[in-house]
Amino acid sequence: MLEFPTIQIGGLTIHEPMTAFTDVILTIISFVLVGRIRNRLHESFYNNAWRLFFLFMGLSTGLGVLTHGLVSLFSAWEHYLLWMAMNVAASISVYFALQATIRYSRVSIRNRRLLKRINLSVLVFFLGLTFWQNNFEIFKIHAATGVLIIFLTYFTAWTRNLVGSGAIVLAFLLSIATVFVHSFQLSINEWFNYKDLSHVMMMVSLLLVYHGMQLSSRDLKLNWRRAIR
């Protein structure tokens, strides 16, 4: 059984220090990317959806710093609430990634609106079911399903040589790989365990998503210009 280390800094006990540190880096990356995404009139929904994806991902990993590293500062109930908020934020980030993916898809406006409503309904359903059952594994089902849908959508786009899709395919392929890292607890040692490895993979994934989003956003811009000619 892998043991999670603790360190003392100025009388403060930090649990899983590398996990907390990588959570800090993930939070910084997410918020920096939020600030770098520009809002363009004709593609604002696509850009804003990805901006909100990064925002809620940053909130989730920021809360992860507290739930992993500073757990000793909180009561069991407070830790439970923080853990709940962390998972809710992660689930909402997946929701916005799906919203962006729906905007990216080449479906009719009517079907796009329907898919957006379904996406919101699914989020509400999983949130309600999680609170009712008090089981956070339900969040994983929502996240895994969302990631798979996003991966398949952009993979299809990649096979059609659509700009930016390849980077997002690689990003969510890494996200899928983190599931296996977690499931099999693939660790180098107790100081760099499966959680830390997953976080490093997520860092690369976020940067790839941003790169792919920027490229695909330009592609949407070109399509929009063609449509109004």
pLDDT tens readout for residues 151-199: 999 999 999 999 899 999 999 999 999 988 988 889 988 899 999 999 9
Residues forming a β-bridge with 9: 12
Of 9-13, 28-32, 197-201, 211-215, the least confident: 9-13
Question: Cβ distance 7 to 14 under 8 Å?
Answer: yes
Cβ-based neighbour number of residue 79 at 10 Å: 16
pTM for the structure as a whole:
0.91
Exposure string for 162-192, b = 16+ CB within 10 A, e = fewer: bbbbbbbbbbbebbeebeebeeeeeeeeeee
Question: Cβ distance 150 to 104 under 8 Å?
Answer: no
Question: Cβ distance 94 to 147 under 8 Å?
Answer: yes
Can you list the pairs that 123-128 forms with residues at least 24 positions away whose Cβ atoms lie under 8 Å? 123/91, 123/92, 123/95, 126/91, 127/88, 127/91
Predicted confidence (pLDDT) at residue 40 exceeds the cutoff of 70: no
What's the 3-state SS for 129-140? HHHHHCCCHHHH
Cα 153 from Cα 173, distance rounded (Å): 12
3-state helix, strand, coil in the chain (%, to 5): 80, 5, 15
Instruction: Name the packing angle between helices 137-159 and 76-104 (round to 10°).
Output: 20
Residue 190 CA, distance from chain mean position: 25
Domains and CATH numbers, the chain: 6-228 (1.20.1070)
Segment 110-151, tens digit of pLDDT: 999 999 999 999 999 999 888 888 777 788 889 989 999 999
Cβ-based neighbour number of residue 108 at 10 Å: 9
The residue written with tokens 């403060």 in the block is 12
